[in-house]
Structure 1
Amino acid sequence: MTELDAVAWPVDPIRTERLVLRESAAGDRAAFVELFSSPEVHTYLGGPQTREELERSVPETPGRRPGLFVIEREGAMIGTVEVRPHEGERRGRVRPDTGEAELSYLFLPGAWGHGYATEACTAALDWFAEARPGVPVVLYTQTANSRSMRLAATLGFTELERFVKWDAEQWMGVWVAAPQPVGQAGPSR
């Protein structure tokens, strides 16, 4: 068992200035289908799935797993952010002894360009840093995805390596919450 196997879930909704990060609900199904079928969302992710396939395969309550948050703005789902155990077969290990987590996120195109990704990812990383202090978090993105590259820098990820996969240059970065001085609570970056 790694440090990541026992994250308490579900958690109470996390509220930021403009967003709510919460567990998924049945009412989110249509937004999940839209998210996974969007060609814009999947430009750097291998392409979208067909709406027909998704209508058949997406469960009534999609995305119900520890570490996956629905991002809600004014009562509507605008995306997801997830912090999950980093798969061992994926490239790169930061801490082979105890493992690390991986950050991923998807936003509907209408939510792009408003700073929601920074706000939601910061909240998710803060939650994870409190749940699993000191555990590193990795992030992958294509270097051609300038928005994700900027977000990684804004969030404080540092480059570990670049490599070519799926005929494109990929970027892998790592983030570790700053240690807290004795007597202080909460994550800090």
Structure 2
Amino acid sequence: MTELGSVAWPPVPIRTERLVLRAPEARDRAAFVELLTSPEVHTYLGGPRPRDQLEREMPGVPEQWPGSFVVDLEGAMIGQVLLRRATEHRRPAAVGKVDLGYLLLPRAWGHGYAAEACAAALDWLAGAPPGEPVVLATQTANVRSMRLAVKLGFAEVERFQAWGAEQWLGLRPPGHAFQVSAFSVARIR
């Protein structure tokens, strides 16, 4: 990931009503392997990674770079939220903007955790390098992800074909007010 400005990393963990967003730790390695090799998680992402390859290549502390948050529920990793600078390999409308991504283990689906975690990460980003527009890309076939994007304040910029499917690119302008009161986002002290 390229820099998100001069953001101190890792940030103080972020607490919501039910979750903690924190930096990855060694204890999260098995959950990262499960997340990245899950066929269900990767239905709209080009398929899972091979488990044996991932086991060999994954470092002891996975995904430890600015913008990678573990989504923790009651002391266990249930997913990941990513904030990374979109590179020249992305759609032209996305280049240079912060790209929001998220993955949750299937057992965590359907409980509102993705909305809660993404809202908390976007709230943190609004106070880190202020004034950043954020983009989110998803397959149009991923109905849940499309609904979440709209709920988080993303508006369609374009649709395009990639990885054999129609993709949707949304933009959330800087300063977008999102109602996080339902999630009681607060920094852990």
Q: What secondary structure, in the 3-state scheme, does the structure 1 residue paired with 2:126 have?
A: helix
For residue 3 of structure 1, report the CA deviation from its aligned partner: 7.9
Q: Which amino acid aligns with 1:111?
A: A
1:41 touches 1:107 (CA, 8 Å); kept in 2? yes
Task: Write the distance in 2 (CA, Å) between the matches of 1:5 and 1:90.
Answer: 19
**What amino acid sits opposite 2:14 in the alignment?**
I
Contact 1:4 1:100 in 2 (8 A): no
SS where residue 27 of structure 2 aligns? helix
* CA deviation after TM superposition for structure 1 residue 178, in Å: 2.6
Indicate the residue corresponding to 1:15 in structure 2: 15
Match of 1:157 in 2: 154
The 5 Å alignment of 1:120-159 reads 120-159=117-156
Question: How many residue pairs align between the two structures?
Answer: 177
Q: TM-score, normalised by structure 1?
A: 0.89
Other-structure match for 2:116: 119
CA spacing shift, 1:142–1:154, aligned 2, 3 Å: same
Partner-residue secondary structure (3-state), 2:92: coil
Q: Name the SS for the 1:171 alignment partner.
A: strand
Task: State the distance in 1 between where 2:123 and 2:7 align.
Answer: 14
For 2:63, the equivalent position in structure 1 comes to: 63
Stretches of structure 1 lacking an aligned partner (at least 5 in a row): 180-187
**Relative to 1, partners in 2 of residues 1:72 and 1:3: Cα closer, same or farther, differing over 3 Å?**
closer
CA contact (8 A) 2:154 2:172 kept: yes
1:36 corresponds in structure 2 to 36
Q: 1:5 to 1:134 in 2, by over 3 A?
A: closer
Q: Secondary structure at the match of 2:63?
A: coil
Over the matched positions of the two proteins, sequence identity in percent amounts to: 62
Q: Deviations over 1:1-46 (max 9, x none)?
A: x983322211010000000000000000000000000000000101
- The 4+ residue runs of structure 1 with deviation greater than 6 A are none
In our comparison, the structure showing a higher alpha carbon Rg is 1
| 1:126 alignment partner AA | D
Counterpart of 1:132, as a letter, is P
